[in-house]
Amino acid sequence: MNHVSILSRFRAPSLMSALVVAASVLTLTPAPNAFGGVFRFVQISDTHHGRAIHQYRYRRAIEEINALPFPVECVIHTGDIVSNGVKSPEVANAASNLLASFKPPVVVCPGNHDVTFQYSDPTNRFLRSAEAYCRHFGPLAQDVETENALYIAIFTESLRRADAPAIPDFDPLSWLEERLSRCPPEKPVFVCTHVPDCDDFVGGAFSSAWENADGLAAWRAVLRRHGNVKAVLAGHFHRCAYAEHSDGGPPTVVASCLAGFWQRQASYRVFTMNDGRLSWQDCYIEDPPPGASVTRDGFVVLDPAADVPPPAGVVDTTSEVKMPEGEP
């Protein structure tokens, strides 16, 4: 398996910002002829809905992805849609409406800031935020199957953390096993979750991003049983990462974020699958020019004193956001 890093530039017609791209190529097991064509899909992650600059970046990403000069099979959101749990219907509705603005089909999984242990009464909050998430964004595990591939997005916090309570009527391992078993064994599958199932490097040391070793082992065992799972796609780190696993299962490919915490620049990732060769391009979004004002719902006003309403038909996404201390 070869992993080659290159630098390139990528631009779609009619887009205003130049997109400086870091691109990588991952050679996978060659696909049979039935699924050996060229197709593309997009990943976004960690939008952390609410802060003005985050709204701007999210809107720009939607505009650019919708204008890409080639077909996009699927848009994958690998979680942390919001920052403090899905506790406000106003925030959740606005975030859901933004997801609905994508032209391609969308699959999304919750992150640890969507269905969260943060703050007081963590167990009750975890279960309540899971219920609210499902009302606004759909099931905790969902998929899109196209002619070329199967895209799965699944919530794995109850596997990652030993202290996570069981969510009624949701067993991620059983759901994943059953869904993979219904997929033709030669069709490529991309399994997407929020927290990468690999080590992280924080504070000068390596540590597993999954605290529950038993949950990790069970998760990886399901993936290994299905050889058509080409990669695990994740977010959470707010930076790019790549890991191959000694268990012989699929590699983990981590995309960066749209949010600006830790001074990150916004990016989304375009994947291309071409006869068993998976490549990706990280497309960076320029922030507004110095001196510009950004409204709370993400629109740029060059003259802060001007009263410029949002374009007709655009849903107001005003909300507040705080980034909790601790892990991303």
Retrieve residue 11's tokens.
């631009």
pLDDT digits (tens, 9 = 90+) for 121-179: 888 888 999 999 999 999 999 999 999 999 999 999 999 999 888 899 999 999 999 99
* CA distance linking residue 179 with residue 174, whole number of Å: 9
What's the pLDDT band for 25 if we cut at 50, 70, 90? Answer: low
Sorted by where each starts, the structural domains of the chain and their CATH numbers stand as 3-299 (3.60.21.10)
- Cβ 228 vs Cβ 185: under 8 Å: yes
Retrieve residue 84's tokens.
């403090």
Retrieve residue 59's tokens.
């809107």
Q: Which amino acid is at 96?
A: S
Retrieve residue 256's tokens.
């960066």
Contacts of 60 (CB under 8 A, 6+ apart): 17, 266, 285
Retrieve residue 149's tokens.
């591939």
pLDDT at 259 over 80: yes
- Using DSSP's 3-state secondary structure scheme, residue 145 falls into strand
Answer with the residue of higher pLDDT: 227 or 301: 227
- Using DSSP's 3-state secondary structure scheme, residue 171 falls into coil
**Cα–Cα nearest to 153, from 187, 92, 182, 111:** 111
Retrieve residue 188's tokens.
């490529």
pLDDT at 327 over 80: no
pLDDT at 23 over 80: no
